[in-house]
Amino acid sequence: MSKLLGVIAIAAVAFAVAPAEAAKHAAGGCSGTNLEKTETAIENMADGDGKFVAQKEIAAAQDALLNGKMGVCGAHLNKAMQATMAK
């Protein structure tokens, strides 16, 4: 029960800061720290289509980062974060 409340609290904070985070990611926020935060949010998601999409986008972001494509990485990271906030 407390874990569920924690997830709900994280989701509430995420909804409050979503526009700022999206802008940060779009502006080249592709970093290990942002990837880690997004991966943590994905791990806390319930299984389903949204989680699958988020996992796919985070994998694409990691691949782009490894290939030095920071803009592409930021775009995929932004999509992954948005997927963590979808119902």
- Tell me how many domains the chain contains: 1
Domain range enclosing 18: 2-85
Q: How confident is the model at residue 25, as a pLDDT?
A: 43
pLDDT at 60 (0 to 100): 94
pLDDT in tens, 23-63: 444 445 788 888 899 999 999 999 999 999 999 999 999 99
* pTM for the full predicted model: 0.65
- Give the pLDDT of residue 32: 84
> pLDDT tier at 86 (50, 70, 90 boundaries)?
confident
CA distance 50 to 32: 22
Q: Which residue type is seen at 11?
A: A
Task: Convert the pLDDT of each residue in 1-18 to its tens digit.
Answer: 555 555 555 555 555 555
| Helix 49-66 with 70-85: angle, nearest 10 deg | 160
Query: Are the C-beta atoms of 57 and 10 separated by less than 8 Å?
Result: no
Nearest to 25 by CA among 9, 84, 87, 49: 84
| Confidence at residue 40, expressed as pLDDT on a 0 to 100 scale | 92
